[in-house]
Structure 1
Amino acid sequence: MPEIHALPNIARNPGVPLQLDWFDQIAVNTPAAERRAATLTTRRTVKKEWQAAWLVNAVRCMDLTTLAGDDTPERVRRLCAKARSPLADHILDGLGLAGLTTGAVCVYPTLVSTAVKALDGTGVPVASVATGFPAGLMPLNLRLAEILYAVDHGADEIDIVITRAHVLDGNWSALYDEVAEMREACGAAHLKAILATGDLKTLRNVYKASMVAMQAGADFIKTSTGKEGVNATLPVSLVMARALRDYGARTGQKIGFKPAGGMKTAKDAIAWQILMKEELGDDWLKPDLFRLGASSMLADIERQLEHHLTGRYAASSRHAIA
């Protein structure tokens, strides 16, 4: 069986000095963005073996995540076992695949060391939320200390949360300085900047916050914590993808994108991949530049793949929970 190998990492984003003129006059046509998002899945459809291939790709781009108040080391070890082998053996055999893993496992800082041990030798990165997740309303020195703690315990990626008030107040220099300090604290670990777009009120704010985070050195921009009232949506993701494209055109730098929260089905997994392909190209269909923060959709993907192979939907109890 062919093996699936991890691709080499994209070069880190060095950032640039704060450039207000890159975004201060930006205008976003909200109805047009909503129309464009609504037609993404109607203009392009994938069926049969092509659908199966897109769903397998979604699995390898997934950040398998547990961020609950009752998380335990045993739950994290179970999640890591699912990350190492996300699909049942008979599905992998039927598809002719081997070596499939998820893109990463994401946990709280205190459980990073557990995840690192459980994933040793697999090549699956460990991501940690930090900086007072999910609200981020902690003094900056404590937020930086949390990053350092997670990195010291082996985290490969840090998912930080920004101070939403900086965006709502238009205090772009404060937002830039905050993200830049977090980027420095990450060291070799990649920084994923969570914008909490459901709290930012307008698509213009989403574009501006995206651009500032990238200028400050974010390696990924991410829609949501999954804890907001509104999490990842296609219109918001479209605006963030346009910001990624504009930043890349100015700097030559490729920045990753991670939608998170609110996505639960295999259909959602395909919709966001179509957005990536149409707006940014095939490079953003690889885990170096695209992650899905939606662990709950894995069960539906597994059911759809089994249906592809057998023509029948299995009971959910047949599949290991993520």
Structure 2
Amino acid sequence: MKRVAILSYDGCWAMGVFSVTDFFRIVALLEQHLGLTQRYAVDVLSADGAAVYAASGHKIQPDAAITDTGHYDLLVIPPIEGVRLAAGFTPEPHVLTWLAARREAGTHLLAMTTGVCFLAAAGFAQHQLLATHWAYARQLKKCYPASQFVTQQPFLQSGGIWSTGTLNGSFDALLEILAQERGDQFSQLCATHLLVSGPERLNPILPGHRNHCDELMLRLQGWIELHHAKTLTIERMAREVGLAERTLKRRFQQATQLSPNLYTQKVRIDKAKKLLLATDLSVKAIAYEVGYENVSFFVRLFKTHTEQTPAQWRTCKVAITS
């Protein structure tokens, strides 16, 4: 069983804590409906096991203290209230020591927006980009000049460290983690039940392809994901980021391990997966929705990427009830 910990602390946003517990509740319900063994156990922790008070003033009662627990596979750090961050909030030294020990033991870390201050304070990410909330990137850079912060990305991942720019980006990161551990179909099914956004607006689950620090290519990836249904040519992409076409193709391949055209295909197929699971649209309508006018070509491409036809993919659709 995979063990997940959520670090609660005074001034954290409660929605950061409970959005993660609710995410894994949805995972557990889907596992139950599909007859799968429950894979995840989730604990809410605090530094000493005592209750903490969220940014709203509401009390959060943790399950245990950080020192009373063993190994965790994933540790989630919710965001700190921006007012407190601006007032000079710094993580407690003994919490940072505990984080370092967990990191040394192989625990993966997910910092939600301003919670990235814990990663920066611990010195975990001095040679990689960190995503964070747009309003606090300058403040974080002032406090942690050795770290690099970006604000345009839903999430970034490198070396087992995840950081997010938005709350929805935190769900995107969790879905990608789930895809790596549970498989793409299960993660896509979970995405359709989150009720965070319509399936056509959810970011793609493409594990590993944001694992780089080329900020310009990250911006282009986001642009492709936003405009995937339009006609996207190398010329148009190059114009968007101000590069020569040859330079664009080289940098994109180096950063993502995919060509720009193949990445566009993967984004479109991912969007189609979600629509197949979450809607009753026809395969023809979905093909058009994600950017393909030729439905036969779309079906062949879908099968190339998934080894299933769109109709076969749709058969894994289940209804979740509470």
**Fold match (TM-score > 0.5):** no
Question: Which of the two has greater strand per residue?
Answer: 2
Q: Which of the pair has more CA radius of gyration?
A: 2
Give the structure, 1 or 2, with the largest relative contact order (CA under 8 Å, sep 6 or more).
Answer: 1
Normalising by the residue count of structure 2, what TM-score does the alignment of the two structures yield? 0.33
Normalising by the residue count of structure 1, what TM-score does the alignment of the two structures yield? 0.33
